[in-house]
Each structure stands twice: as C-alpha cells, then as structure tokens.
Amino acid sequence: MRLFTAIDLPPEILLRLDRLLSALRPEALVKWSPLDNLHVTTKFIGEWPEQRVPELHEALQKITRRQPFEVELKGLGWFPNERSPRVLWLGVEGGQPLAKLAKDIEQPLASLGIPPEEREFSPHLTLARIKHPVPLSNLRKKVHEMQPAAVGKFTVSHFSLFRSRPGTNASIYEKLMDYEFQSAMAAS
C-alpha cells in the first residue's frame, strides 16, 4: 500500500480552489491536479505492508493531543523556479502549529522504520505538474495578475491517513482514517 498523511480541505475552500483552477487551466497545457486530490501533505510514508497498518494507526493516534489551528492558502509559486518550473503550487501558511504537526508525525513513524524527511517541511498544494516543455508565458502572466491568490483560511482540527492508488489520468486517494485533535486537558 502506498500511504501518506495529509490535511483535508473543507468544501468552501475546494469551491474557491475550483474557481482559481478554472481561471488558470486555459492558460497552459500542463497536467492539472484534480480538485479531489488537493490536500496538504504532512508526511509521505510510501509503500507500507497492509498487515502493518494497525501499527501505523496506533503510532498516529499518539499525536492528536493539540489544539486546532488556522491555515491560510495564498500565494502562487513555482518549483524549482519560475524560469524552468516543474510544479505550480499554492502556498499554505500554518505557522508553527502546522510545522509542529508535521514534525510530530515524523517522530513515531521513524520508530516504525519510516525514514524522516531530509528536506525542510514546505507546505503547499500542487496545482499542476509540468512534465514536458510547453509554452508557459500566458500562465506566468495569469499567475502574476492573480497574486496574492488568497483562497482563504480554515481551521484544522484533524489530519488523515490516505492510500494512493494509480488511476487512469491521476492517482486516486482513499481516506483510511481520521485523527481528530484532542486538547491536552480533554485527553487527560
């Protein structure tokens, strides 16, 4: 099983993202992410044996003691850079609480043999992948016009474990489990 942890996006944010993508899609023939696949990845786990999912579930349950926090989606950008991009992304601003969630997910999973990320946590939504050279001048212009591309804020009160399966045009994500946050006082 190919697994990852992520934060779901609420319906009102997905609606705004749909409008943003509708404005961007006509500007370039690139591989646009399906709306249903947009999420904030907190940890890519990779291949994991199905019979060991209960171990993973037990480890993830241990990190739910935290307060809900706010995340804002805004700011379009390019990986690795605008001159020769491979990815168009939308920024995710969650400050220290989001970074701490990602770090806290790393720790118990490392004890199960899942290697920690080598790169610094850089939360974003992948809007499009640029796999082959295509004209991007119209898309670059549209991106500049739309900045700061503020999609909105929402409260994060849980994260989820997802399974990724190959699909015809894009991966298909299946949610396996939600991990609701519990305040430290409520959990005692």
Residues belonging to the active site: 39, 124
Q: DSSP readout, 60-118?
A: HHTT-BS--EEEEEEEEEEES-SSS-SEEEEEEE-HHHHHHHHHHHHHHHHTTTPPPPS
Please tell me the distance from the alpha carbon of residue 1 to that of residue 164, in angstroms, as a whole number: 8
Give the CB-side neighbour count of residue 178, counting CA atoms within 13 A. Answer: 9
| Residue 82 CB neighbours (<10 A) | 13
